[in-house]
């Protein structure tokens, strides 16, 4: 049976609102959220209303919205926005190995963002290494540019996302490789971008201890 996504938080507009609430340590007016997420005000009211009913945000005088527990909000989003459901996934093998691949990627102009365990290890090096998972809108163009060979057992996963929010607020390694934001990487690890959700534990621990380093 096909798993059904909740319409409340799974669509791309809702994802833009959720990511804004997660990525920033702030209190929000609707105007602020519209300006940052570029999501229409009616959608923001819908999403915030859903979160308020579930006690994941509070709304005070002047319609100011605050998030008091980002972990609870992220876990709630992960119930609806799941990596394995919101992405079309293909497997590949990198000619010359992964080290050569990560050197080839930064000079190219293709849109992409690395997620999964490879990205998590930048912040939490004890994260178990699995595949190199990369969001990109056109896997065949990426394969041509990055010298990838299709295979059912490859250690490179190209994920075509259902929403561009996965490219929002990326980070860069010293060599210029773009990583998805920590909140996106953590959500992906919890929802299928790793063999087990427990693979996300080191990154979650790091994010709890270093909130000022990743949450604006």
Instruction: Give backbone dihedrals phi and psi of 27, rounded to 5 degrees, phi first.
Output: -110, 150
Closest of 59, 62, 74 to residue 22, by C-alpha: 74
Could you give the CA distance from residue 186 to residue 107 in angstroms, rounded to a whole number? 26
What is the pLDDT confidence band of residue 183, given thresholds at 50, 70 and 90? very high
Report the CATH architecture of 12-80.
Orthogonal Bundle (1.10)
Could you give the CA distance from residue 162 to residue 85 in angstroms, rounded to a whole number? 9
Supply the pLDDT for residue 2.
Answer: 39
Instruction: List the chain domain ranges.
Output: 12-80, 83-214
Max CA-CA distance within the chain? 59
Q: Give the global pTM.
A: 0.94
159 pLDDT above the threshold of 70: yes
Supply the pLDDT for residue 75.
Answer: 97
Could you give the CA distance from residue 96 to residue 113 in angstroms, rounded to a whole number? 21
Q: Write the pLDDT tens digit of every residue in 75-133.
A: 999 999 999 999 999 999 999 999 999 999 999 999 999 999 999 999 999 999 999 99
The bridge status of strand 156-161 relative to strand 132-135 is: parallel
Give the Å distances, CA to CA, from 210 to 146, 185, 189, 215.
33, 15, 19, 9
* DSSP designation for 197: G
Pair 104, 175: CB distance under 8 Å? no
Half-sphere exposure of 11 (CA within 13 A, CB side): 9
If you count DSSP H runs as helices and E runs as strands, how many of each does the chain have, helices first? 11, 10
Closest of 27, 167, 5, 158 to residue 77, by C-alpha: 5
If you count them, how many residues does the chain have? 216
What is the pLDDT confidence band of residue 3, given thresholds at 50, 70 and 90? very low
Give the Å distances, CA to CA, from 41 to 7, 17, 29, 35, 162.
17, 10, 10, 10, 22
The CATH class of the 83-214 domain is: alpha beta
Specify the 3-state DSSP secondary structure of 28: strand
Q: Write the pLDDT tens digit of every residue in 22-64.
A: 999 999 999 999 999 999 999 999 999 999 999 999 988 777 8
């Amino acid at each position: 049976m096909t798993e059904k996504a909740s319409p409340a938080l799974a669509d791309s507009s809702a994802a833009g609102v959720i990511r804004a609430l997660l990525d920033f340590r702030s209190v929000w007016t609707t105007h602020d959220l519209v300006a940052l997420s570029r999501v229409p005000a009616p959608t923001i009211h819908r999403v915030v209303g859903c979160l308020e009913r579930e006690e994941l945000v509070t709304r005070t005088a002047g319609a100011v919205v605050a998030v008091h527990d980002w972990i609870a909000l992220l876990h709630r989003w992960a119930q609806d926005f799941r990596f394995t459901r919101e992405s079309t996934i293909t497997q590949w093998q990198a000619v010359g190995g992964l080290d050569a691949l990560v050197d080839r990627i930064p000079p190219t102009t293709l849109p992409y963002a690395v997620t999964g365990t490879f990205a998590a290890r930048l912040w939490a090096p004890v994260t178990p290494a699995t595949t190199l998972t990369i969001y990109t809108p056109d896997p065949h163009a990426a394969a041509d540019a990055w010298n990838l060979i299709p295979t059912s057992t490859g250690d490179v996963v190209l994920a075509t996302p259902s929403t561009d929010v996965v490219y929002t607020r990326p980070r860069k390694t010293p060599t210029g490789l773009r990583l998805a934001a920590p909140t996106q990487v953590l959500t992906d690890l919890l929802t299928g971008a790793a063999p087990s959700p427990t693979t996300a534990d080191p990154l979650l621990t790091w994010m709890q201890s270093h909130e000022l380093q990743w949450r604006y």
